[in-house]
Structure 1
Amino acid sequence: MSGPDIDLELELTRLARRLRRRSVQLVSELHPDLDYGTYLFFLAICDAPGRVRGADLAEMTGVHKSTASRAVAALVCFGLVEQRPDPSDGRARLLVPTPDALKRQTAYRAAMRDRLNEFLADWDLDDLDTFISLMRRFNDSAEASG
């Protein structure tokens, strides 16, 4: 059995595997004991620096609060994340990547962009614009559906 839905699922699976494999290789550059699952929490914190409360992280990532709490504890222990008082709520803590961790994450993302540029070097700009537009539409639809 084949068709567009089967082909799409296959291509998305290939993409997810490749991205995960590449990320797993580079995660150890942030900290040798950092695992991929905890790295995903780190990404969520980096993408919203200074705006993520520990209590909100579980909801953002779709996991149980205890899982998020263990990940935060590991990230703090590894020196990748700091907990700062939330100025709007003295009881809450904001999660912020450390300057060094943020610098390494920025370098990682720059390396990923360079890799993407290599993959797409022979693409026509119109095709690339179409691809980006369709990926954005796909991601927006996926996020809107929860």
Structure 2
Amino acid sequence: MESSRLPLPPGVDDRWRVSDRLGHQLIRVMRAVERAKAGKAVGPDGVERAAYVLLARLVLEGPRRSNALAESVHSDPSTVSRQVAGLVRAGLVERRPDPEDGRATLLAPTDEGLRVFEANRDRRNREISAMTAHWDEADRVRLAELLEQLAVDLEHRHHPAPLAPPEAS
């Protein structure tokens, strides 16, 4: 199955064709996710959906300073500060004294934050389970493994992709 209606440059190899197909499918997935989230910028708790990423990071990786949290999600510290303020107002995150430096504070999920995180996780997992109910379990496992590998590679990529397609052998 060809990935797009646009012809590929002459002389490209199979690896380039597969990369083109992967790129096309990733775009389709990202657009579908964007459509699903359209109009849902704020969650049922009145907190920006983007802020839930911060809550999840604190739940899964433990308390941390605001700058460390911003760095871990590859975001601007001022944006994270604004989103954290919303999480604090909603009672999902609290500021605690940093035991290593009394002048600093750590951000940590509250009990309500843990409850909200688990409720969102459960809702997401139910949706994915329903969407892939007709899949073979081995395919679900393999997709999870491949997506994890892709996420790691994307998170650690620091240089732009080559512009010219590789020549066919």
TM class by shorter-chain length? 0.7 to 0.9
- Structure 2 Cα separation of the partners of residues 107 and 74 of structure 1: 18
Q: Which runs of 5+ in 1 are unaligned?
A: none
Distance 2:53 2:35 in 1: 14
1:112 aligns with 2:127: no
Provide the TM-score with structure 2 as the length reference: 0.70
Whether the 8 Å contact between 1:26 and 1:108 is mirrored in structure 2 is no
Superposed, 1:130-141 pairs within 5 Å as: 130-141=142-153
Considering only CA atoms, is the larger Rg found in Structure 1 or Structure 2? 2
Q: How far, CA to CA, are the matches of 1:23 and 1:43 in structure 2?
A: 18
Q: Render the CA deviation track for 1:62-97: whole Å, top value 9, x for unaligned.
A: 222222222222221222210011112212211111
Distance between the aligned counterparts of 1:82 and 1:21, measured in 2? 32
For residues 45-84 of structure 1, the aligned pairs below 5 Å read: 45-50=58-63, 52-84=64-96
Contact 1:83 1:94 in 2 (8 A): yes
Residue 106 of structure 1: CA displacement? 0.3
Q: Say if 1:106 and 1:22 are closer, same or farther in 2 by CA, change over 3 A.
A: farther
**Residues 126 and 41 of structure 1, relative CA distance in 2, 3 Å threshold:** closer
> 2:21 aligned with 1:7, yes or no?
yes
The verdict on how the C-alpha distance between 1:17 and 1:109 changes in structure 2, with shifts beyond 3 A counting, is: farther
Q: Greater share of helix residues, 1 or 2?
A: 1
Q: Under a length normalisation based on structure 1, what TM-score does the superposition of the two structures give?
A: 0.80
The Cα of 1:145 is off from its aligned counterpart by 1.8
- CA offsets per residue over residues 19-63 of structure 1, 9 Å max, x none? 45545649522x22x22333333333233232x211212212222
Unaligned runs of 5+ in 2: 1-5, 8-16, 159-169
Alpha-carbon shift at residue 101 of structure 1 (Å): 2.2
Aligned pair count? 143
Q: Report runs of 4+ in structure 1 exceeding 4 Å deviation.
A: 20-24
What is residue 57 of structure 2 aligned with on the other side? 44
CA-based RMSD of the aligned residues comes to 2.4
Are 2:100 and 1:88 aligned?
Answer: yes
Map 1:118-129; keep pairs closer than 5 Å: 118-129=130-141
**SS of the residue 2:94 aligns to:** strand
* In structure 2, distance between residues paired with 1:139 and 1:99: 29
Instruction: Show CA shifts across 1:99-146 (max 9, x none).
Output: 112202201111111111112212122222322221122122222225
